[in-house]
């Protein structure tokens, strides 16, 4: 590793055994970033909380529950596509790729890609990148089922993880970004993010991205507002997290989960609605927040795409589409690209 010294300054390294290690920013940096971002995003007139803060331990567990809800079609649809693309994806692999995953979460879908890798190479290197500590649990589970797997986990933001990978060495990467997590980016930021991925990639690298497609409004709204209220708990949990980690006094009973599809901007928007006039103190972020009855805190955008828009976006961010795979209902797409 040519930048070992630099990395040791920004990340702490945890070696679990010969096949498993993690890199994680120092905890003071993580807490400061959380407090600073919450301070600036909740202080202004249009209040928001970045969706990356959903994923503490409880948030990640709730997301896994969302994935198996009858209304939440994206996970099962993406899994179906992944199961079908086995031989078609292996055509692009030559036994020397390493697997890098952005937002790996519980790494359930990763297993389908690892199965493909296992058929063509003996040793597999996997670099999961996730802001959530869930990465450590999922890596340990993967290790039990894939003895030939060497895992280097990076517990950090996508951007931090990409910079880490870029400087790590010169090996060939298949980067995957599943779950339509890309849909959380607003268009301009999404474009910048794709350009960042592109600039991280080497000529021979590949990038596989899962994207949710535009569809019936009812299907979309139900997926983000399920009948069991799991998505509502997931959304509200971010306030519990702020209470726990930043010494705040949000009363969750004073908020309601809202999800609506904005057809013009092609996105499901999630909010936390204040049910009363209230003030909340967030000690570690140094703010006292005043909320009016009915005021919204924005928590997530989930953009939906048309195939023509995906092609245009990839073209504009320096990618060449190698292949795209859709499910029979055309609800979801997996796109494989390389650098132009």
Ligand X SMILES: C[S@@+](CC[C@H](N)C(=O)[O-])C[C@H]1O[C@@H](n2cnc3c(N)ncnc32)[C@H](O)[C@@H]1O
CA 293 – CA 315 distance, rounded (Å)? 45
Per-residue binder mask for ligand X (CB under 6 A), 249-288, x = binder: ----------------------------------------
Query: Closest approach of Cβ 98 to ligand X, in Å?
Result: 18
Nearer to ligand X, 67 or 213 (CB): 67
Query: Closest approach of Cβ 40 to ligand X, in Å?
Result: 16
Burial of 305: CB neighbours in 10 Å, binned 0-12, 13-18, 19+: buried
Burial of 147: CB neighbours in 10 Å, binned 0-12, 13-18, 19+: exposed
Query: Closest approach of Cβ 243 to ligand X, in Å?
Result: 19
DSSP 250: -
Query: Closest approach of Cβ 335 to ligand X, in Å?
Result: 15
Q: Which stretch binds ligand X (CB under 6 A): 11-19, 115-123, 141-149, 174-182?
A: 174-182
Under the binding rule (CB under 6 A), the answer on residue 55 touching ligand X is yes
Q: Site residues for ligand X, window 70-89 (CB under 6 A)?
A: 75
Query: Closest approach of Cβ 249 to ligand X, in Å?
Result: 25
Under the binding rule (CB under 6 A), the answer on residue 300 touching ligand X is no
Nearer to ligand X, 113 or 280 (CB): 113
DSSP letters for 167-223? HH---EEEEEE-TTGGGGS-HHHHHHHHHHHHHHS-TT-EEEEEEEBP--HHHHHHH
Under the binding rule (CB under 6 A), the answer on residue 157 touching ligand X is yes
Of the residues 162, 178, 272, 287, which one makes contact with ligand X according to CB under 6 A: 178
Tell me how far CA of residue 277 lies from CA of 153, 254, 258, in angstroms. Answer: 43, 9, 18
Under the binding rule (CB under 6 A), the answer on residue 109 touching ligand X is yes
The answer for residues whose C-beta is within 8 angstroms of residue 279's C-beta and 6 or more apart is: 288, 289, 290, 291
The answer for residues whose C-beta is within 8 angstroms of residue 189's C-beta and 6 or more apart is: none
Of the residues 73, 158, 193, 224, which one makes contact with ligand X according to CB under 6 A: 158
Query: Closest approach of Cβ 73 to ligand X, in Å?
Result: 13
Query: Closest approach of Cβ 132 to ligand X, in Å?
Result: 4
Of the residues 105, 128, 153, 190, which one makes contact with ligand X according to CB under 6 A: 105
Q: Which stretch binds ligand X (CB under 6 A): 100-108, 252-260, 293-301, 319-327?
A: 100-108
Q: Site residues for ligand X, window 185-204 (CB under 6 A)?
A: none
Helical packing angle, 230-246 and 57-67, nearest 10° = 170
CA 68 – CA 70 distance, rounded (Å)? 6
Nearer to ligand X, 29 or 254 (CB): 29
Query: Closest approach of Cβ 122 to ligand X, in Å?
Result: 26
Report the sign of the C-alpha dihedral through residues 169, 174, 177, 179, in that order: negative
67: Cα within 13 Å, side-chain hemisphere: 19
Query: Closest approach of Cβ 178 to ligand X, in Å?
Result: 4
Of the residues 52, 65, 172, 322, which one makes contact with ligand X according to CB under 6 A: 52
Dmax over CA atoms of the chain, in Å, equals 61
Under the binding rule (CB under 6 A), the answer on residue 63 touching ligand X is yes
Cα Rg of the chain, angstroms: 20
Binding site for ligand X (CB under 6 A): 52, 55, 60, 63, 67, 75, 103-105, 109, 130-132, 134, 157-158, 178-179, 181
């Amino acid at each position: 590793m040519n930048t070992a010294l630099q990395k040791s300054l920004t990340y702490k390294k945890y070696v679990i055994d010969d096949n498993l290690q993690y890199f994680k920013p120092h905890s003071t940096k993580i807490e400061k970033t959380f407090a600073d971002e919450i301070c600036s995003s909740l202080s202004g007139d249009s209040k928001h909380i970045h969706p990356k803060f959903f994923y503490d331990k409880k948030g990640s567990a709730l997301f896994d529950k969302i994935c198996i809800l009858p209304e939440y079609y994206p996970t099962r649809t993406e899994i179906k596509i992944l199961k079908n693309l086995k031989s078609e994806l292996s055509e692009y692999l030559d036994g020397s790729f390493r697997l890098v995953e952005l937002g790996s979460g519980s790494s359930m879908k990763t297993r389908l890609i690892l199965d493909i890798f296992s058929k063509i190479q003996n040793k597999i290197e996997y670099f999961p990148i996730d802001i959530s500590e869930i990465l450590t649990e999922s890596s340990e589970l993967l290790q039990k089922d894939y003895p030939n797997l060497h895992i280097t986990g990076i517990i950090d933001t996508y951007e931090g993880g990409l910079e880490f990978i870029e400087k790590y060495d010169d090996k060939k990467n298949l980067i995957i970004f599943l779950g339509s997590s890309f849909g959380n980016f607003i268009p301009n930021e999404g474009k910048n993010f794709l350009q960042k991925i592109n600039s991280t990639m080497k000529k021979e690298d590949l990038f596989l991205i899962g994207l949710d497609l535009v569809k019936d409004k009812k299907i979309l709204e139900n997926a983000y507002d399920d009948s069991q209220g799991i998505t509502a708990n997931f959304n509200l949990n971010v306030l519990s997290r702020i209470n726990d980690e930043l010494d705040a006094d949000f009363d969750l009973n004073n908020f309601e989960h809202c999800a609506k599809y904005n057809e013009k901007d092609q996105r499901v928007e999630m909010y936390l609605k204040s049910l009363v006039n209230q003030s909340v103190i967030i000690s570690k972020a140094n703010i006292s927040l005043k909320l009016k009855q009915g005021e919204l805190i924005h928590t997530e955008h989930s953009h939906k795409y048309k195939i023509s828009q995906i092609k245009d976006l990839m073209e504009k961010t320096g990618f060449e589409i190698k292949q795209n795979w859709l499910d029979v209902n055309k609800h979801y797409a997996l796109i494989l690209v390389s650098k132009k």
